[in-house]
């Protein structure tokens, strides 16, 4: 069985957990420690180079992940790109969760509100 490291800023839905167990044969979900979660969720938008900023995350994965484990990577585009390349270099499997967006419109008086609901579809390898 495999581990799934969560490098994203949300909580897994039940559908995502079930799919990971069934399609990826994951038996353990690993959230980042709170300090690393803050780091991942707050990548500075004014840093021209973020590879060194992400070093603590890379160190964590090197210490805790095993070859062939999955890493769900979603977030800042530059951070995702850097971490996808890094995880491939150390023989981890970077994945993303694909979603289907369902939009509902509600008209209340003179206002129209749109509510978007995202539902997990599949996991896709980077």
Q: Within 10 Å of residue 95's Cβ, how many Cβ atoms?
A: 21
According to the model, what pLDDT value does residue 118 have?
85
According to the model, what pLDDT value does residue 8 have?
93
Structure-token match 């070093």, residue found: 55
According to the model, what pLDDT value does residue 55 have?
98
- Coil/strand/helix, residue 72: strand
According to the model, what pLDDT value does residue 108 have?
87
Cβ–Cβ under 8 Å, residues 121 and 15: no
Intra-chain end-to-end CA distance of the chain, in Å: 21
User: What ranges in the chain are assigned the alpha helix state H?
Assistant: 14-23, 34-41, 55-64, 77-89
Per-residue CA distances from 43 to 35, 58, 90 (Å): 13, 14, 22
Digit-coded pLDDT (tens) for 64-120: 999 999 999 999 999 999 999 999 999 999 999 998 988 898 898 899 888 888 889
According to the model, what pLDDT value does residue 116 have?
82
Digit-coded pLDDT (tens) for 1-45: 799 999 999 899 999 999 999 999 999 999 999 999 999 999 999
Domains annotated for the chain, with CATH where assigned, are 2-125 (3.40.50)
The pTM for the full model equals: 0.88
Q: Which of 5, 9, 21, 22 is nearest to 93 (CA)?
A: 5
Cβ–Cβ under 8 Å, residues 9 and 42: no
Per-residue CA distances from 102 to 78, 105, 114, 116 (Å): 27, 10, 10, 6
């Amino acid at each position: 069985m495999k581990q799934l490291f969560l490098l994203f800023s949300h909580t897994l839905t039940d559908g995502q957990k079930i799919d990971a167990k069934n399609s990826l044969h994951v038996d353990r979900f690993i959230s980042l420690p709170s300090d690393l979660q803050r780091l991942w969720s707050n990548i500075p938008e004014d840093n021209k180079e973020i590879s060194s900023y992400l070093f603590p995350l890379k160190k964590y994965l090197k210490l805790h992940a095993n070859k062939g484990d999955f890493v769900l990577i979603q977030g800042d585009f530059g951070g995702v790109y850097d971490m996808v390349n890094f995880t491939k270099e150390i023989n981890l499997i970077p994945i993303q969760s694909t979603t289907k967006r369902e939009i509902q419109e509600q008209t209340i008086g003179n206002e129209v509100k749109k509510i978007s609901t995202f539902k997990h579809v599949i996991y896709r390898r980077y």
